[in-house]
Structure 1
Amino acid sequence: MLQDAIQSAQNPLYKQLHKLATQRRERLKQSLTLLDGPHLIDAALSADWSLQRLIVTEAGLARPEVKQLLARAGVPVHPLADMLFATLTELPSQTGVLALSAIPDAPAARNDGFVLLLDGVQDPGNVGTLLRTAAAAGVDQVWLSPGCADIWSPRVLRAGMGAHFVLPLIERAPLLELLDAFRGPLAATLLDGAVDLYQADLTGDLALVLGAEGQGVSAEIAARASRRLRIPMAPGIESLNVGAAAAICLYERVRQLGGTARV
């Protein structure tokens, strides 16, 4: 379903795409986002994600992997001039293909299982990495506080490497309110009163919270944590990157479950 090529910055579809690529407000308003590159689009299609349109460059149309994606997607395909396409991507080397995709409605918050809470994690790369690790480690749902990076931004989507399509996500989540209904304990990486991570019980229903870079978990959330965890580190080392800390904690739970990512 090849459409007429877009050559002008005044084209209404191009204007919409540019807003979505650059403005969180527009992504929230329209409940739409852009998926940049064959890998993300392939992951979305493999997860039966609904795509609305594909945007391609002339070079992209000639690439076999892009041709296969166009055939699989079965949606309108809009050729776009290279100069215009370059304004829709942050990548130094153009992938040649973008997808316009709906942002799904947030699921109902779980009151059991294994839930990861992100409390004010602002770096897009860290948020995407956390989502990717959470999906791999069998997290059932992720709650992100209002201070977190936009999970549907191009940078978070790229760092997530397809995690968005398989992991239930609730952004701008009222963490304290949702914790009131959660049946399991809350665990947090904290210093005061903490026990060694490898001595803590991380099985069963569990909410694990990780805090903002530098600031850590907010005082209000920390006060709710009944399991305070300390990751062992060599003398003189004060902290880890939040993505590294998350991977250590999440996979300690996997180890305690006998090497499986699910209870």
Structure 2
Amino acid sequence: MKSVTSRDNPFYKELKHLAGSSHALRKAGRSLLDGVHLCQAYLDLIGQPLHCIVSEGALANPEVAAIVDRVEAARASAQSTVISLPDALFGALSQVEHGIHLLFLVDTPRPATPEALVQSAVLLDGVQDPGNAGSILRSAGAAGIRQVYCSPGTASIWSPKVLRAAMGAHFVLEIFENVDLAALVRAARVPVLATSGYASERIYDVDLSRPVAWLLGHEGKGVSDTLLNLATHRVVIPHAGAVESLNVAACAAVCFFEQLRQQQGA
């Protein structure tokens, strides 16, 4: 384990720059995982990080110590490094109030976008709130969906806020950013279902036992007219009461788990 104690240390200064800027993280092709749950999920589902950063105080936490030990045990083969920081220096890196001081710095996966949709997937058309985006990813992963396509204008999907909201779902998904969704929908080999509060076809009346792609739109504007016109179906979740519509993340969860229910023959 290496110890860094100075604010002027080049590694610390670079780390602080990355922690304070999603743009810097994207440019570097890196992501920061904050906290025990995300770091544990990464180790279990992906493997070793580039760097494990821990505060001196957090080393007394048994969960943190176990993660650090796993990284150190694999260090020779994985080239991972463990860096310890005084609590005061670590505090400038984390966006989590009263969190456990543990970070992984990892390479952001950048899979090549497939030529066509051939399996169940989620298409995000300008979903901007990081909490919504992360919740949608979490529901998708839990429902067995494995691909997510994001248009330009969608929240930065590997940002710390989206990562925290998704609770490790990133690591079971293939995520494609800055995708031309119109071209993707035109070439799709599975039905594309666009959610709309103005549609007449209920999701419960559509055959979801086969693969489908779910098209979810901006929190205020919904799915763009261009994509609505390209979709195979426009579908609605019926609801009662005076509330106008569901939050997009809640809508996504209902859709995904209705699909799972039909697939399982429940």
The 5-angstrom pairing of residues 32-71 of structure 1 reads 32-71=30-69
CA distance in 2 between partners of 1:160 and 1:77 (Å) = 25
For 2:98, the equivalent position in structure 1 comes to 93
Percent of paired sites with the same residue:
43
- 1:151: Cα distance to partner? 1.2
CA distance in 1 between partners of 2:21 and 2:181 (Å) = 25
CA distance in 1 between partners of 2:183 and 2:172 (Å) = 25
User: Residue type of the partner of 1:41?
Assistant: C
The 5-angstrom pairing of residues 84-233 of structure 1 reads 84-109=89-114, 110-233=116-239
List gaps (5 residues or longer) in structure 1.
Answer: none
Q: Structure 1's 178 and 96: CA in aligned 2 closer, same or farther, altered over 3 A?
A: same
Q: Say which SS state the counterpart of residue 124 (structure 2) adopts.
A: strand
Report runs of 4+ in structure 1 exceeding 6 Å deviation.
none
User: Residue type of the partner of 1:17?
Assistant: L
Q: Say which SS state the counterpart of residue 213 (structure 2) adopts.
A: strand
For 1:253, the equivalent position in structure 2 comes to 259
- 1:146: Cα distance to partner? 1.0
- 1:192: Cα distance to partner? 4.0
- 1:12: Cα distance to partner? 1.3
Deviations 1:209-249 (A, max 9, x none): 11111111111111111211111111422111111100001
CA distance in 2 between partners of 1:259 and 1:77 (Å) = 48
Q: Say which SS state the counterpart of residue 6 (structure 2) adopts.
A: coil
CA distance in 2 between partners of 1:259 and 1:73 (Å) = 42
- 1:9: Cα distance to partner? 2.2
Q: Say which SS state the counterpart of residue 50 (structure 2) adopts.
A: strand
Q: TM-score, length-normalised on structure 1?
A: 0.93
- 1:140: Cα distance to partner? 2.4
User: Residue type of the partner of 2:252?
Assistant: A
Conservation of the 8 A alpha-carbon contact between 2:199 and 2:236:
no
- 1:193: Cα distance to partner? 4.5
Conservation of the 8 A alpha-carbon contact between 1:107 and 1:168:
no
Q: Say which SS state the counterpart of residue 230 (structure 2) adopts.
A: coil
- 1:175: Cα distance to partner? 0.8
User: Residue type of the partner of 1:9?
Assistant: R
For 1:73, the equivalent position in structure 2 comes to 71
Q: Say which SS state the counterpart of residue 253 (structure 1) adopts.
A: helix
User: Residue type of the partner of 1:63?
Assistant: N
Q: Say which SS state the counterpart of residue 240 (structure 1) adopts.
A: coil
Q: Say which SS state the counterpart of residue 51 (structure 1) adopts.
A: coil
Deviations 1:49-77 (A, max 9, x none): 34011111111111111111012123321
CA distance in 2 between partners of 1:91 and 1:165 (Å) = 21
User: Residue type of the partner of 1:31?
Assistant: G
Q: TM-score, length-normalised on structure 2?
A: 0.92
Q: Say which SS state the counterpart of residue 165 (structure 1) adopts.
A: helix
CA distance in 2 between partners of 1:104 and 1:243 (Å) = 24
Q: Say which SS state the counterpart of residue 214 (structure 2) adopts.
A: strand
Q: Structure 1's 225 and 129: CA in aligned 2 closer, same or farther, altered over 3 A?
A: same
CA distance in 1 between partners of 2:154 and 2:213 (Å) = 17
